[in-house]
Structure 1
């Protein structure tokens, strides 16, 4: 399904006057407003072709992977923390927010090869006491581990989704801010203020600002830190 480029998500960092048509993301992992359709990413971000048919050819030749799995759908949505690899490119790319809240594709650190961070947003009991965990990107796994809770961030191997490490939110942890006026910034947790009412819990950062817990995405603890590149422009501002 096509969409006029002017109607595409405002979180896309793309020129609005170069192409008339965009593409509507497939309803899948990420919602429409928080995702980059594959066509836009390969054509307008990474400049792998000027025409839709050129991008389609790349996809049909099994040259593109997201989180280690081949993707052929030009409407496939990529969102925060997704990892993209293209056979003809030397670097992998990781999807992040820049400091204006735009989705950008940044060269991924070689230290992150074969790994991805997943934030737990849902936890439920299934079957005979197994735990099902749902993540921010829509994926799920079933595990025996009962020590994992919502807001924890799991370091997992991709594409197999094997748990390597559990990053729990705590004082001194490094975090990426995913919303609010400080979106796209890296900060260190000073303390967590737990509210007794329905008001959202607040997290206070060493950098002198505070934000709600929902916007905190832990990327590092005193024992391990996932390498996050500094967010900057990949394409010119629209």
Structure 2
């Protein structure tokens, strides 16, 4: 079936799909995040939301321009939807999350929440003219004249316009998208700087318990409260 399909039995355990139905399942195109944190639009529309039953019907919906991801019309059934992305379809909005059981899930959100997108900075590059290219976890990038934000900080967008900046620091609210504590919401208690090539770790508190995880596994989603609606999963 080629690169646009995957044997269902070999699909990531994070995908909330049935394993014993058809042989093949839609493979999301290569995106900014790994496949275990990504779902294709085909899978979302047909297998999770169950709006239609066939891939042909999915393509018909997409070709009519009825589906948006983060506010942009998408017509590719294999388009990748990753954690914290917003899918808008038939006047309903959903954000993709991962829970503590390591399963991706869609959470229905209101129109206002659907306009908000926290984007973690995963890299920076100095360009000619002292401009800074900021690379985000969702694959997008930004050219800026300022170099005040650090890798792992978050820039919050509303309707594609910058709304706020969130520092990765003690007291910040975080959401874990990988690791043993995946799906947890917590508050940073300490950023434990590493030596040499060892990855930086953080100490955070969630539900009155302390945990240690890698800095790379966390996204800052607020200062004292989350900037987006967080489901109870």
Report whether the alignment pairs 1:6 with 2:9.
yes
- The 1:191–1:15 alpha-carbon spacing in structure 2 relative to 1, beyond 3 Å, is same
5 Å matches for 1:40-189? 40-86=43-89, 88-89=90-91, 91-158=92-159, 160=160, 162-189=161-188
The equivalent of 1:190 in structure 2 is 189
1:36-88 deviations in Å (ceiling 9; x for gaps): 011001111111111111111110110000010000000011111111101x2
5 Å matches for 1:203-218? 203-206=202-205, 207-218=209-220
- State the SS of the aligned residue for 2:180: helix
Distance 2:60 2:104 in 1: 25
1:139-184 deviations in Å (ceiling 9; x for gaps): 11111221011000110134x3x22111001222111011111100
- State the SS of the aligned residue for 2:78: coil
- State the SS of the aligned residue for 1:226: coil
Aligned residues: 227
The equivalent of 1:227 in structure 2 is 228
- Point out where structure 2 has 5 or more consecutive residues left out of the alignment: none
- Point out where structure 1 has 5 or more consecutive residues left out of the alignment: 233-238
Deviation of 1:29 after TM superposition, in Å, equals: 3.5
Distance 1:22 1:110 in 2: 30
Distance 1:38 1:133 in 2: 27
The equivalent of 1:235 in structure 2 is none
The equivalent of 1:199 in structure 2 is 198
- The 1:147–1:70 alpha-carbon spacing in structure 2 relative to 1, beyond 3 Å, is same
CA RMSD in angstroms, aligned pairs only: 1.7
Higher strand proportion (structure 1 or 2): 2
Deviation of 1:228 after TM superposition, in Å, equals: 3.4
Contact kept, 8 Å, 2:45 with 2:51, in 1: the verdict is yes
Runs of 4+ in 1 over 6 A off after TM superposition: none
Which residue among 27, 30, 34 is the counterpart of 2:37? 34
